[in-house]
Amino acid sequence: KEIHIYVTKDEDGNIVKTEQSENKVNGHDGDEYTTEKNEKDGFKFVKTQDPKDNPTYSTDGKSTTGKIVGNKDQSITYVYEKVVKKEQPAPAPEPKKGSFQEIHIYVTKDEDGNVVNTIQSENKVDGRDGDEYTTEKNEKDGFKFVKTQDPKDNPTYSTEGKSTTGKIVGNKDQSITYVYEKIVKKEKPTPCPVCPTPKPEPKSGSFKEIHIYVTKDEDGKVVKTEQNENKVDGRDGDEYTTEKNEKDGFKFVKTQDPKDNPTYSTEGKSTTGKIVGNKDQSITYVYEKVVKKEKPTPCPVCPTPKPEPKPQPEPKPEPKPEPKPQPEPKPEPKPQPEPKPEPKPQPQPEPKPEPQPQPKPEPQPKPKPEPKPEPKKLPQSGSSEEGYALGMAMLGLSGLMTIVDIKRKNEK
d(CA 229, CA 241): 14
What would the DSSP string read from start to end of 118-149? EEEEEEEEEEETT-EEEE-----TT-EEEEEE
- Residue 312 domain-assigned? no
Residue 377: what pLDDT?
45
For residue 362, is pLDDT > 60?
Answer: no
Average pLDDT over residues 146-164: 95
Q: What is the pLDDT of residues 189-246, one digit of tens each?
A: 676 666 667 778 888 999 999 999 999 999 989 989 999 999 999 999 999 999 999 9
| Greatest pairwise CA separation for the chain in angstroms | 202
- Residue 305 domain-assigned? no
Q: Are residues 279 and 332 in the same domain?
A: no
* Partners of residue 251 on adjacent β-strands: 288
Q: Are residues 251 and 383 in the same domain?
A: no
Q: What is the pLDDT of residues 77-92, one digit of tens each?
A: 999 999 998 766 656 6
Residue 307: what pLDDT?
63
Residue 375: what pLDDT?
45
For residue 50, is pLDDT > 70?
Answer: yes
Q: How many residues does the chain have?
A: 412
- Residue 192 domain-assigned? no
Radius of gyration of the chain (CA): 67
Q: What is the pLDDT of residues 375-386, one digit of tens each?
A: 444 444 444 455
Q: Are residues 115 and 153 in the same domain?
A: yes
Q: Are residues 107 and 15 in the same domain?
A: yes
Average pLDDT over residues 170-191: 88
> What number of other Cβ atoms are within 10 A of residue 77's Cβ?
18
Per-position b or e across 319-338, b if 16+ CB within 10 A of its CB:
eeeeeeeeeeeeeeeeeeee
Query: What predicted TM-score, i.e. pTM, was given to this entire model?
Result: 0.29
Q: What confidence category does residue 117 fall into, taking pLDDT thresholds of 50, 70 and 90?
A: very high
Q: What is the CATH number of the domain that holds 279?
A: 3.10.20.320
Q: Are residues 151 and 239 in the same domain?
A: no
How many domains are contained in the chain? 3
Q: What is the pLDDT of residues 259-306, one digit of tens each?
A: 999 999 999 999 999 999 999 999 999 999 999 887 766 666 656 666
Q: What is the pLDDT of residues 296-347, one digit of tens each?
A: 666 666 566 666 666 565 655 555 555 555 555 555 555 555 555 554 545 4
Average pLDDT over residues 92-116: 91
Domain coverage including residue 71 = 2-88+95-183
Residue 57 CB burial class (10 angstroms; 0-12, 13-18, ≥19):
buried
Q: Are residues 25 and 141 in the same domain?
A: yes
Q: Are residues 24 and 124 in the same domain?
A: yes
The chain-wide mean pLDDT, for the chain, equals 81
Q: Are residues 146 and 256 in the same domain?
A: no
